[in-house]
Amino acid sequence: MIKRVGCVEIPVSDMEKSTAFYENVLGLKKTYGHPVWTSFDAGGVSFALAASGTKKVEKHGKVCTSCSLCVLRYVAHGRKEDKPKLTATSVLYLEVDNLNQTYKELKEEGVKFITEPQEQGWGGRTAVMLDPDNNILVLSEA
């Protein structure tokens, strides 16, 4: 059946801004770049940003129609100026060794947090932050 997660993808409205955040602020290694798709190695897991047309933006971004998934998004969302722009978000859990130190460093970089480091009922600790498109990122320490 399912062997592993092949890739985690989140929608973004500004590829350059989001790529800079994940690469320069969070320190992920970029493995592929394209105007509508950028992927990173996140500790052996493929993580991708996609200009999927599902984030609120003033104007529609570029559309890639080279794969069936992109074509389905294009058709499903209509990509017409007179239609309301859809929003979507994902929650990505990022494991860290030292939550307090990571929180402090990212806070100093100007990252927006919606929770400070806190104990969780399952025994770990988390802090919740937002990326430039307000996608939810949970820093987690076991």
Domain finish residue from 51, 77, 103: 77
How many domains are there within the chain? 2
Task: Give Cα 110 distance to the centre of its chain.
Answer: 17
Tell me the per-residue pLDDT of 74-112, one tens digit each, with 9 for 90 and over.
444 444 444 444 445 577 888 899 999 999 999 999 999
Tell me the per-residue pLDDT of 34-79, one tens digit each, with 9 for 90 and over.
888 899 999 999 888 887 655 554 444 454 444 434 444 444 444 4
Do 47 and 105 have their domain in common? no
What pLDDT does residue 19 have? 95
Range of 129's domain? Answer: 91-141
Do 116 and 69 have their domain in common? no
* Domain assignment of residue 20, yes or no: yes
Do 106 and 137 have their domain in common? yes
Instruction: Please state, in angstroms and rounded to a whole number, the distance separating the CA atoms of residues 6 and 130.
Output: 23
Q: Which residue has the tokens 């806190």?
A: 118
N-term to C-term CA, the chain: 28
Cβ atoms of residues 86 and 77 within 8 Å: yes
**Is 15 a residue whose pLDDT tops 70?**
yes
* Domain assignment of residue 70, yes or no: yes
**Which of the four pLDDT bands, split at 50, 70 and 90, describes residue 21?**
very high
Do 104 and 73 have their domain in common? no
Q: Among 26, 66, 31, 68, which residue's Cα sits nearest to residue 47? A: 31
Q: What is the CATH number of the domain that holds 39?
A: 3.10.180.10
**Is 7 a residue whose pLDDT tops 60?**
yes
**Is 8 a residue whose pLDDT tops 80?**
yes
Query: Which amino acid belongs to residue 106?
Result: L
Where do runs of H (alpha helix) occur along the chain?
A: 15-20, 68-77, 99-108
**Which of the four pLDDT bands, split at 50, 70 and 90, describes residue 28?**
very high
Do 73 and 19 have their domain in common? yes
What pLDDT does residue 104 have? 97
